[in-house]
């Protein structure tokens, strides 16, 4: 399974990249499981970010949202602008 993971705002700065293609092992089938797996792969800021938001294929999602081969999963902290 291949998933495109995007990072925004402070996560992009912390990781030094706007995104990456990952191949999680079998059993990683929700956003929460993907996040936990990414934390184990060195993306610890995903575990400590307050009020972390996520989207799957540009639709807002939560930890229980399913992820499938070819999905795009975006993680971003809440941001304000004006």
The CATH number of whichever domain residue 44 belongs to comes to 3.10.20.30
Share of the chain above pLDDT 70, in %: 96
Query: Does residue 25 form part of some domain?
Result: yes
Query: Which structural domain range is residue 9 located in?
Result: 3-76
Q: How confident is the model at residue 82 (pLDDT cuts 50, 70, 90)?
A: low
Query: Does residue 8 form part of some domain?
Result: yes
Our count of domains for the chain comes to: 1
CB 22 within 8 A of CB 30: no
The stretch 32-57 carries a mean pLDDT of 94
Least Cα distance to 38 among 80, 77, 75 occurs for: 75
The stretch 47-55 carries a mean pLDDT of 91
Query: Does residue 71 form part of some domain?
Result: yes
Query: Does residue 13 form part of some domain?
Result: yes
Query: Does residue 81 form part of some domain?
Result: no
DSSP secondary structure, 29-58, as one string: -BHHHHHHHHHHTT-THHHH-TT-EEEETT
């Amino acid at each position: 399974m291949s998933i495109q993971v995007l990072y925004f705002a402070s996560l992009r700065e912390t990781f030094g990249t706007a995104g990456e293609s990952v191949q999680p092992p079998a059993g990683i089938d929700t956003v929460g499981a993907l996040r936990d797996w990414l934390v184990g792969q060195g993306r610890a800021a995903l575990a400590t970010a307050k009020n972390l938001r996520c989207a799957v294929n540009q639709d807002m999602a939560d930890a229980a949202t399913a992820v499938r081969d070819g999905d795009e999963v975006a993680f971003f902290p809440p941001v304000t602008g004006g």
